[in-house]
Chains A and B, each alone.
Chain A
Amino acid sequence: MKRLGFYAGLILVAGYCLAPVLWQLITSLRPAPELTALPPLLPSRVTAEHYAAVFAGHPFGRIILNSLIVSAGATLIALGFGSATAFALAKLRAKGQAVILGIVLATSMFPPIATVSPLYIVVNALGLRDTLIALVIVYAGLALPLAVWVLTNFMRQVPDELYAAARVDGATPLQAFYRVMLPLSAPGLVATGLLVFILSWNEFLYALTFTATTRSRTIPVGIALFPGLHEIPWGEIAAASLVVTLPIVLLVLLFQRRIVEGLTAGAVKG
């Protein structure tokens, strides 16, 4: 009985998350004249014309690559710097923890539309307009507060004795950091990493402001360039939005297995 309830719950959740995406999928396969026809829920025939248009009409492959580089770079930096900060706060007893966490959090409390203009002035002055590096750094900076807070939480939960034991064994703090703390904070690292990756993947305002050509254009701006002055190609937009979620899905499938493995394979927890 409990199992039935459990599976019913799973199906409900899956349905809730998937339903709009499924509708988007159906829209992307509808022939253009039938896009707004709704009695028939399903189209009379299935077409790949929108998917073809996505790649034929735009340098979408390059745009996806840009997004991959930017998101991966931002994620690595955010995780690297964030975990280092979390380590200092959780295990090294850095002074003024509350103040530091507070300031870090405060930096994320401003609406981006206000900070985009001064940030642009900086980016422009450094000559970093239309570069991927500018986006990597900005996104990493935006993701740091989340990374710091979540990873501090996970590192605090690692028992102090484990860290002390590693130090007693002769490890420097740095060695203890990457040999003991990081592996044990794996769930937090993976979760944060995925969230930061997605945040960078989907960010629009800064990408629109800092990029100009396909040299650095990322996916949200790429999709924003689908519509014309008045015309909006819904089919193409639907197709593109599904195409760009594929890498994320693959990423999730790849990494979630790592968490489970890391935990079940002799987890060193009290």
Chain B
Amino acid sequence: MACTKLTSMRVSRLLLSALALTVAACSDKSASPAPGEPVTIVFKHGKLFGDPRAFDALIKRFEDNHTGIRVRTESLPASSDEQHQFYVINLRAASADFDVMALDVIWVAEFARAGWLNDLTETFVPADRKNFFKGPLAAIRYQDRTYAIPWFIDAGVLYYRKDLLAKYEFEPPRTWEELSNIAAAIKQREPGMYGFVWQGKQYEGLICNALEYIWSAGGDAVRDGRVVLDSPENRRALGFMRALVHERGISPELVTTATEEPSRRIFGSGKAVFMRNWPYAWTLFEQPNSPVKGKVGITALPHFSGHDSAATLGGWQLGVSKYSRHPKEAAVFAQFMTSAEALKALALAYGLNPSRRTLYDDPDLIAAQPHMAQLRATFEHARPRPVTPQYVRVSQVLQSEFSAVVAGLKPPEDALASAQHQVEAILKR
């Protein structure tokens, strides 16, 4: 035993010397390469689910076409919060370790304000801009300059069991009342089924869900720079959300803890009539062993009568770090990754919906995803969450308040009044 401990002391001393050496050796302050040597840029992005070969092939194609640039890709965990935290820590320390980043649509204004993004107004030329959906175009601007290029897009859609609706002779609902009635009717006749599952956990997804009710009731969170949370339309919307769970029993209580995957799994095992989710779930429902294969339809989300359907905009954009040592090359890479060719490859390989509207007529993409037309219609009208540098902070307030409503702890009036007060204070700063 004594020998082991002596060895451990020696090992400790060894490690200390190793440390000294490593500090010298691992110093990653890469000097600028000699002219003629290729430049290496780092592309930091959230994990893409699926076979990495398609992605690697895309990168290789870029490198082949741009012999002076080498690209190294680094994955971050897919969780938006974890990525946000990573970027905040790194960019606050002015880290030069990555050049191109994939940004969640709600971060762009915030990062631009913090001075972490390069101005890409010159790179993302107006002639190309009209090829993209309007929603992301609004989200990437801050003080009339552009700070990111839209990469891929997401928006909320309504999934429904077309077999059940056909069986009981219902059409897909257009209003929330219709959805509620249809769900109630089918629930009665199909025991053990949930009516409608969605994401009600206290997290960002809850805001995406809630805004869809709010907007489709004619309300809003921020309009023309003014906070309009405390309004009769919003009260109606939140009241309806709460009623879904607590009064009408259309949605099971577990939606108050559901995120995308749990709700997807419940619907995918055939236990729900309706689901609100992002378009990604469709491909999973059409897998060979899926219990709901061939039984699922997609349509636009319902609305309150007298208003229009609304879908919250999601998706990711590509930005260039202010601290990048190779901003020009990074911008070139960002342009490539958002080109029609790259977006199509990513759509086919990973099911990521392109942010270019022109691709939605592409026959290959339509073959892979039969709902392209419906998705295009939804994406055309997808609305971004309030575009302000303070959005993430505002979202924290809204998450608290909306979660209290959905959990039945606070009536919508109180929650909205409190939210109005807090958000006004935040946006004033």
A and B held together in a complex: yes
Beta-carbon contact of B23 and A128 below 8 Å: yes
A121/B78 contact (C-beta < 8 A), A133-B18, A228-B50, A231-B49 known: no
**Nearest Cβ distance between residue A226 and chain B, in whole angstroms?**
8
Beta-carbon contact of B47 and A228 below 8 Å: yes
With a 10 A CB-CB cut-off, give which of B8, B278, B287, B290 has the most chain A CB atoms: B8
Task: Using CB atoms and an 8 Å cutoff, list the residues of chain A in contact with chain B.
Answer: 31-33, 35-37, 73, 76-77, 79-81, 83, 116-117, 120-121, 124, 126-131, 133, 136-137, 178-179, 182-183, 186, 189, 208-209, 212-213, 221, 224-232, 258, 262
A144 to B228, CA, bound (A): 52
A interface SS class = helix
- CB nearest neighbor in A for B24: A127
Beta-carbon contact of B48 and A229 below 8 Å: yes
With a 10 A CB-CB cut-off, give which of A179, A189, A232 has the most chain B CB atoms: A232
A20 to B351, CA, bound (A): 34
A225/B86 contact (C-beta < 8 A), A76-B12, A133-B19, A230-B260 known: no
A127 to B95, CA, bound (A): 10
**Nearest Cβ distance between residue A177 and chain B, in whole angstroms?**
9
Q: Is B89 an interface residue (CB 8 A)?
A: yes
Beta-carbon contact of B8 and A80 below 8 Å: yes
**Nearest Cβ distance between residue A57 and chain B, in whole angstroms?**
8
**Nearest Cβ distance between residue B427 and chain A, in whole angstroms?**
25
Of B170-178, B208-216, B261-269, B402-410, the one touching chain A: B261-269
9 contacts between A and B (CB under 8 A): A77-B15, A133-B23, A182-B5, A227-B49, A228-B50, A229-B78, A230-B280, A231-B284, A258-B1
Question: Cβ of A221: which chain B residues have Cβ within 8 Å of it?
Answer: 77
Beta-carbon contact of B269 and A36 below 8 Å: yes
A32 to B291, CA, bound (A): 12
- CB nearest neighbor in A for B42: A212
A230 to B15, CA, bound (A): 41
Question: Cβ of B23: which chain A residues have Cβ within 8 Å of it?
Answer: 126-128, 133
Question: Cβ of B26: which chain A residues have Cβ within 8 Å of it?
Answer: 127-128, 131, 133
Interface size class of B (residues with CB under 8 A): 35 or more
Q: Is B29 an interface residue (CB 8 A)?
A: yes
Q: Is B9 an interface residue (CB 8 A)?
A: yes
Mark each residue of chain B from 119 to 153: 1 if its CB lies under 8 Å from any CB of chain A, else 0.
00000000000000000000000000000000000
A81 to B11, CA, bound (A): 12
A229 to B50, CA, bound (A): 11
- CB nearest neighbor in B for A80: B12
Q: Is B32 an interface residue (CB 8 A)?
A: no
Q: Is B65 an interface residue (CB 8 A)?
A: no
Question: Cβ of B291: which chain A residues have Cβ within 8 Å of it?
Answer: 33
A173 to B370, CA, bound (A): 79
User: Which 8 A-B residue pairs are closest in the complex by CB-CB distance?
Assistant: A228-B49, A127-B27, A33-B289, A80-B12, A224-B77, A182-B5, A36-B265, A232-B261
